[in-house]
Structure 1
Amino acid sequence: MKKIILITVLGCILSIGLVANSPKESFKYQLELNYVVLSEGTKVNAQPVLSKSIFENSNQEATISYKVQMDNVIHSELSGIGGAFNEMGGEAFASLTVGDQKSLVEALFSMTNGSGFSNCRTAVGSSDFGLSAYSYSQTPNDYKMKNFSVAREELTLIPFMQAAYNENPDLKMFASPWSPPGWMKESGKMDGGDKMKEKNILKPDPKIYEAYALYFAKYIKSYLEHGITINRLIIQNETDMNPKYPGCDMQPEQMEDLISNYIIPQMKKSKLDVELWAGSFRGKRKDAQKFMSLEGAENVEGVGLQYCPQSTMNELRTKHVGIKMMHTEGRCENGENSMKQAQKRFSEVSDWINSGTENYCYWNIILNETSTSGWGWKQNSLININRQSGNITYNPDYAPISLLSQYIRPGDQSVMVKTPEDKKAIAVKNKNRVVVFLENKETDVSIQSIDISGEKYTVELPAQSLCAFVFKKHK
């Protein structure tokens, strides 16, 4: 049986009584189309998602077909979509009026009136988008962390995160350091690893390991005192990097020792309930594969990955059945914030979700008007805030990320979609609905077919759009 469905005019969503047959039970579907326009010249605002009414029509034939394999579950419990908090963004956020702050966090984090970001990231100390290199332990050889302090972030990063939690109390947060405090490293510095690669490492000293484990515990406790729960701790950002900004080269064997013999005992001693994840790993040095081959790999919940080819995830899933993987950073780009870059986001997200990660995490949520780090390089962001004028700019990347976040919710399952060559798709489901994401890169509308459990629905995709077709179940 084939259903032909065409989208015509803006308006309310109509229930049209579509029937989808499955081996176990039949459902009537209320079909919605929600989409974002990604054509050049489109101005993105705080609410970029549009809707169109759907009516039956039998006069069109699909040129592209997708088959949703409902029983082929990739991940049984997704944790959603989010982005990263940083000190630069926190400073820019603090420059806004109270009213503008409230509107901004509602657009980003509201589960009913906004994007509903559900799984976000922050840095333990300075990232490359800190205003400068800093840690919470600036006093050399302070092994007992007597001078530990997060005071620097109380004026910038922490208020932004608190506002996000006020809007979405169920927000999940994972954190990772870009570098340990400088005095814990052979180089004595958090940054400058590009000029002293051999010393850009954590000192292999039990006293340092004990101090670093205590540092993590103090961080998590301090944030709890500010009403912010760090649900997951990823031990080191980009383990194989020696950048000019804060970084640390950490071999898998050192990470395993640090986790198993120091961090876990310290977390138990401090009575802290936090998941420990290995990583974040890139694909170049095969650190994820090496770590998972070590005995202590059983002591972590999973691995954090970024900038890996799909072959890395496939290899990990094949060799370590049941492995948990999370995505930790989206492509940072070069600060152009162009629509052409936004048009590529769906391809990136689909590669990660369809390779078995439980989430997708965009990088910078907010940057200031310069988009430039303290180390002189530009990156993209979902939003730019001009600290002088107070102007808020929603960049092109915000549109696809907002749509994906609104319709990939915590607890959803990702399922396989059989696609034509060079085409991308994502399908997620829960007990109430199925959502199929498709894109149309052409300048004309595209007629495409979605097969769900043997029922075919032909749908019209607006020109140059990313679409979320929502099939709501009604018994």
Structure 2
Amino acid sequence: MFHSIDRRSFGALVASSAAALLTGKSAFSQQRLPVSSYAWRTDDQGHHSPVVLEAWKSASRNCVPDVIVDQSQTFQPILGFGAALTDSSCYLLSRMPADRRNSFLTELYSPQGMNLSVGRCCIGSSDYSTQIYNYDDAPGDTKLEHFSIAHDEVYILPILRQARAIRPDLFLHASPWSPPGWMKVYGSMLGGWMDRDYLAPFATYMLRFLSAYKEAGVPIQAICTQNEVETDQHGMMPACFWTPQMEAEFIRDHLGPKLRSDAQLSKTQLWLLDYNYIYWKRVDWQLKDVRLASYVDGVAFHGYEGQPEQMDEIERLHPGMPIYFTEWSSELKSNPAGDWAQWAHDLTKILQSGARNITLWNLLLDENGKPEVGPFDCVGVVTLNSKTGELVRNGQYWALYHFSAHVNRGARRIHSEGGDTNFTHIAFQNPDGEQVLVLSNQGFPRSVQIQSGDRILEVPLSRNSITTVTWRSTS
């Protein structure tokens, strides 16, 4: 493990008294006062290392706290945190020695480790694959008599099964980068547009994928129509452009009805968009179609263009529509090994704008951002050195760790406020009543005062750091 004292070891010290106090009472039913707190920090001196804090103190009348946490104001529930198990990531994992792979996956998915609970799968080839492929490459096979997931049975499904064995409640969402080429205008998986004549067969293709994965022991909990639905990536990789009208027709008249009428698959969620913040108006237009909206369980966003606050428009215009975050990545030309504070800042903004999860892009790539068949230079959450076998846990990893190891499925984001913009903060309350505050500081070292109820906690923040603080409250 990569921290000498994990959150559950800390939690065990106060669990017995906290459990008695919480029994039979709503976590939000009354003003509650914080007791013993624990903290972990990532900075240039160490990663997710325990930090000793002074005790909570009574707030003086003249105290002006830097952050006020109010558990009585609650927001979206949290589904979890994770990264994409692409063909490329699964390929690299499959080539690791079995004992080392098991140790690494346990580190990632065990509740005693990083506690990842969400993952993303590709329906056929993405740009991060060892080759371009789909599940039925027989032109004109509208009955899908040649459909097969044989490619995935080699190493993708075994890795997914292994992750699920460690984390049985792992929530997997999946997207296609392209239908089979013969279902598209110009007949290629590389870029291009969907052909309306093949909407019905493609809906069946999507259900065949879901059924095949379920039969293989890897049920998928949510799907999107298309990854990055508003671009064909200039024909440089598997991609497909869908007009808003054609996608609406596809969901309303084909995929939605077929999915909901299938007794084995009807609970699979259907998410819209799976693309950047700036396309929120497309989603708004589509959701005005009542029939289409009846099949939609959420909206998925990427972080490459626009601002997280644009996701707020969906909540404003369509109250109660769940928001999910499904892709973002560092680039090789950036500082991927040391940009944890920037990533924590960005993840904070995404969660403050209503996202119920964080799913980053490739879980694992090599030092050159390979394998891939596309034009981009993404960095994995973890880098596997192809020459030495060393695993380098990048800034994305440590930022994700500070959330995922402490914020459990079913947690609620709770209110936190403060006027200082030199650092960012976000707070949660776990289902067992534990409160979590994540602070990211990209600037100078400083000490901040956190107020919960009428108590104050002093928390030192080092330069380029993430600090996670947890505590429980009593009446």
Residue in structure 1 matching 2:199, options 209, 217, 231: 209
Matching of residue 221 in structure 1 with residue 211 in structure 2: yes
Which residue does the alignment assign to 1:154?
A: 153
Q: Distance in 2 between matches of 1:382 and 1:160?
A: 17
> Which amino acid in 1 is paired with 2:389?
G
Change (3 A) 1:242 1:334: farther
Q: Distance in 2 between matches of 1:158 and 1:325?
A: 27
Change (3 A) 1:63 1:336: farther
Deviation at 1:57, TM superposition (A): 8.5
Task: Kindly provide the CA deviation profile for residues 47-93 of structure 1, in whole angstroms up to 9, marking residues without a partner as x.
Answer: x42112333398x9999701123232221x21011111111111111
Q: Distance in 1 between matches of 2:200 and 2:400?
A: 40
Q: Distance in 2 between matches of 1:235 and 1:266?
A: 13
Which residue does the alignment assign to 1:5?
A: none
Change (3 A) 1:68 1:57: closer
Change (3 A) 1:292 1:332: farther
**Correspondence 1:346-361 to 2 at 5 A:** 346-361=344-359
Deviation at 1:102, TM superposition (A): 0.7
Of 91-100 and 287-296, deviating more is 287-296
Which residue does the alignment assign to 1:29?
A: 35
Which residue does the alignment assign to 1:283?
A: 277
Which residue does the alignment assign to 1:345?
A: 343
Q: Give the length in aligned residue pairs.
A: 448
> Which amino acid in 1 is paired with 2:252?
S
Deviation at 1:463, TM superposition (A): 4.3
Moved over 4 A (4+): 9-15, 60-64
Which residue does the alignment assign to 2:362?
A: 364
Q: Distance in 2 between matches of 1:261 and 1:401?
A: 38
Deviation at 1:424, TM superposition (A): 1.4
Matching of residue 271 in structure 1 with residue 261 in structure 2: no
Matching of residue 184 in structure 1 with residue 176 in structure 2: no
Task: Kindly provide the CA deviation profile for residues 377-402 of structure 1, in whole angstroms up to 9, marking residues without a partner as x.
Answer: 32111112245543322223211111
Q: Distance in 1 between matches of 2:390 and 2:52?
A: 34
Of 453-462 and 377-386, deviating more is 453-462
Which residue does the alignment assign to 2:110?
A: 110
> Which amino acid in 2 is paired with 1:346?
A
> Which amino acid in 2 is paired with 1:103?
S
Deviation at 1:22, TM superposition (A): 8.6
> Which amino acid in 2 is paired with 1:247?
A
> Which amino acid in 1 is paired with 2:84?
A
Change (3 A) 1:90 1:310: closer
Of 148-157 and 349-358, deviating more is 148-157
SS at match of 2:389: coil
Which residue does the alignment assign to 1:299?
A: 295
> Which amino acid in 2 is paired with 1:202?
M
Task: Kindly provide the CA deviation profile for residues 122-157 of structure 1, in whole angstroms up to 9, marking residues without a partner as x.
Answer: 111111101222111111111111111111122222
> Which amino acid in 2 is paired with 1:367?
L
- Verify the 8 A CA contact 2:122 2:176 in the aligned structure 1: yes
Which residue does the alignment assign to 1:197?
A: none
Which residue does the alignment assign to 2:245?
A: 253
> Which amino acid in 2 is paired with 1:362?
L
Q: Distance in 2 between matches of 1:365 and 1:297?
A: 32
> Which amino acid in 2 is paired with 1:271?
Q
Change (3 A) 1:265 1:440: closer
Matching of residue 382 in structure 1 with residue 376 in structure 2: no
Aligned-pair Cα RMSD in Å:
3.0
Change (3 A) 1:256 1:10: closer
> Which amino acid in 2 is paired with 1:72?
Q
> Which amino acid in 2 is paired with 1:405?
S
Matching of residue 465 in structure 1 with residue 465 in structure 2: yes
- Verify the 8 A CA contact 1:33 1:53 in the aligned structure 2: yes
Which residue does the alignment assign to 1:6?
A: none
Matching of residue 412 in structure 1 with residue 389 in structure 2: no
- Verify the 8 A CA contact 1:95 1:387 in the aligned structure 2: no
SS at match of 1:425: strand
Q: Distance in 2 between matches of 1:10 and 1:220?
A: 40
> Which amino acid in 2 is paired with 1:258?
F
- Verify the 8 A CA contact 2:28 2:72 in the aligned structure 1: no
Q: Distance in 2 between matches of 1:10 and 1:182?
A: 51
Which residue does the alignment assign to 2:66?
A: 65
Q: Distance in 1 between matches of 2:354 and 2:149?
A: 35
SS at match of 1:240: coil
Change (3 A) 1:157 1:402: same
- Verify the 8 A CA contact 1:305 1:327 in the aligned structure 2: yes
Change (3 A) 1:163 1:203: same
Q: Distance in 1 between matches of 2:334 and 2:277?
A: 26
- Verify the 8 A CA contact 1:328 1:360 in the aligned structure 2: yes
Unpaired segments of 5 or more residues in structure 2?
22-26
> Which amino acid in 2 is paired with 1:210?
A
Task: Kindly provide the CA deviation profile for residues 406-453 of structure 1, in whole angstroms up to 9, marking residues without a partner as x.
Answer: 112110001232122433111000342110111233453x21111223
Of 430-439 and 77-86, deviating more is 430-439
- Verify the 8 A CA contact 2:66 2:450 in the aligned structure 1: yes
Unpaired segments of 5 or more residues in structure 1?
1-8, 194-199
SS at match of 2:237: coil
Of 379-388 and 409-418, deviating more is 379-388
Of 306-315 and 101-110, deviating more is 306-315
**Correspondence 1:301-340 to 2 at 5 A:** 301-307=297-303, 308-334=306-332, 336=334, 338-340=336-338
Deviation at 1:251, TM superposition (A): 1.9
- Verify the 8 A CA contact 2:438 2:466 in the aligned structure 1: yes
Q: Distance in 1 between matches of 2:196 and 2:380?
A: 36
Deviation at 1:174, TM superposition (A): 0.4
Q: Distance in 2 between matches of 1:23 and 1:219?
A: 45
Deviation at 1:169, TM superposition (A): 0.4
SS at match of 2:395: coil
Change (3 A) 1:137 1:384: same
Change (3 A) 1:124 1:337: farther
Deviation at 1:358, TM superposition (A): 0.5
Q: Distance in 2 between matches of 1:425 and 1:55?
A: 20
**Correspondence 1:158-169 to 2 at 5 A:** 158-169=157-168
Q: Distance in 1 between matches of 2:333 and 2:131?
A: 19
